[in-house]
Amino acid sequence: MTGALPAAPEGWVLLNSHRFGPFVVRARFRRPDGSMVEWTSRGHRLGHALRSSDGPSIPVGRRLVPARTWWISALFAVGSACFALGSFPPYLDRVSSVVDGITFFLGSLCFTAASALCFLEAASAPSSLGGSDRTADRRLRVRPRSIDWWSTLVQLVGTVWFNVMTLQALLVDDAAARIDQLVWRPDVLGSGCFLVASYLAFVEERAGADRSDRDVSWWIVSLNLAGSVAFAVSAVGAFTLPSTADVVSFRLDNGGTFVGALCFLAAAVLLVPEARSARRTAPTAGPNLRS
């Protein structure tokens, strides 16, 4: 890569780019035939083609949705469903605290598996815009100047904290001090990581974009950001008061978890439609534009 941008084919001219801090999130190129294409950090990581600014386009068919996208969508959806179910009052009334805790723990494992795939996706993003052998180009790399590498890494760390939190919730006794130390602190750390990661993903998609352009990607990053805010609210409500051994607010705790899980579930379900709706430029005499 040259800087934070993948290497462009010979003859391509960089017209402009948009940054968020040190990260390039969007760029526009002119190809030798005069046509314009737009590169985005999110689209590059997800394997979407460059967006044509002035040429015809055709929709990507179902068969072009990567298998990894299906797995990420399914794992995030199952994990979100577990968190929503575990915080749903009728479920809480019908099962034991151990069963409810196992529900959350299984959900956190699904989150971690999906986040690991997202991080691998970011770490193996191609180093160039063109070229015919994209598979060979997808080697694992450390990409500290790429916003998607950081957002997926921080998200993965957050899911590990949720693993710790949900496991400790199964094992810890009822002492308020121990709950705050072993359960609440990992909850706060995980929620904080999710907030940072979802915000980075949001600006990655929206920086330099048309404000009126609310496509599937916009809904995904917005829902994930809203879900992270709800999880942070839940963490505030989950603090156990040492004097009474009661949580600050059971409604905030469970309500924030439930709302956040539903936001994450909706975003997960939209990942496949996002891949299907991605467009690629019609064939031209230039190099392969699938990024």
Q: Are residues 77 and 211 in the same domain?
A: yes
Which residue, 46, 63, 80, sits at the end of a domain?
A: 63
Q: Is residue 5 part of a domain?
A: no
Q: Are residues 34 and 169 in the same domain?
A: no
Q: Extract the tokens encoding 13.
A: 């001219």
Q: Are residues 223 and 80 in the same domain?
A: yes
* Helix H or strand E encompassing 112: helix 97-123
- Residues paired with 240 in a beta bridge: 247
Q: Are residues 73 and 190 in the same domain?
A: yes
**Inter-axis angle of helices 185-206 and 216-237, nearest 10:** 160
Q: Is residue 290 part of a domain?
A: no
Q: Is residue 115 part of a domain?
A: yes
Q: Are residues 262 and 137 in the same domain?
A: yes
Q: Are residues 128 and 242 in the same domain?
A: yes
Q: Are residues 171 and 217 in the same domain?
A: yes
Q: Is residue 22 part of a domain?
A: yes
Q: Are residues 115 and 259 in the same domain?
A: yes
- pLDDT averages per 10-residue partition of the chain, 291 residues: 71 90 90 88 84 53 73 97 94 90 95 97 84 55 91 97 90 60 75 96 86 82 97 87 70 91 97 79 35 31
Q: Are residues 81 and 147 in the same domain?
A: yes
Please report the pLDDT score of residue 283 as a whole number: 35
Q: Are residues 125 and 244 in the same domain?
A: yes
Which residue, 42, 63, 84, sits at the end of a domain?
A: 63
Q: Is residue 162 part of a domain?
A: yes
Q: Is residue 282 part of a domain?
A: no
Q: Is residue 3 part of a domain?
A: no
Please report the pLDDT score of residue 9 as a whole number: 85
Q: Is residue 272 part of a domain?
A: yes
Rounded Cα distance between 154 and 66, Å, is 23
Please report the pLDDT score of residue 202 as a whole number: 96
Considering only CA atoms, which of 235, 162, 158, 233 is closest in space to residue 198? 158
Q: Are residues 34 and 127 in the same domain?
A: no
Single-letter residue type at 233: V
Calculate the alpha carbon distances from 204 to 34, 134, 145, 176, 207 in Å: 27, 23, 13, 40, 6
Q: Are residues 55 and 149 in the same domain?
A: no
Number of domains, the chain: 2
Domain residues for the domain of 19 are 13-63
SS (H, E, C) 8-34: CCCCCEEEEEEEECCEEEEEEEECCCC
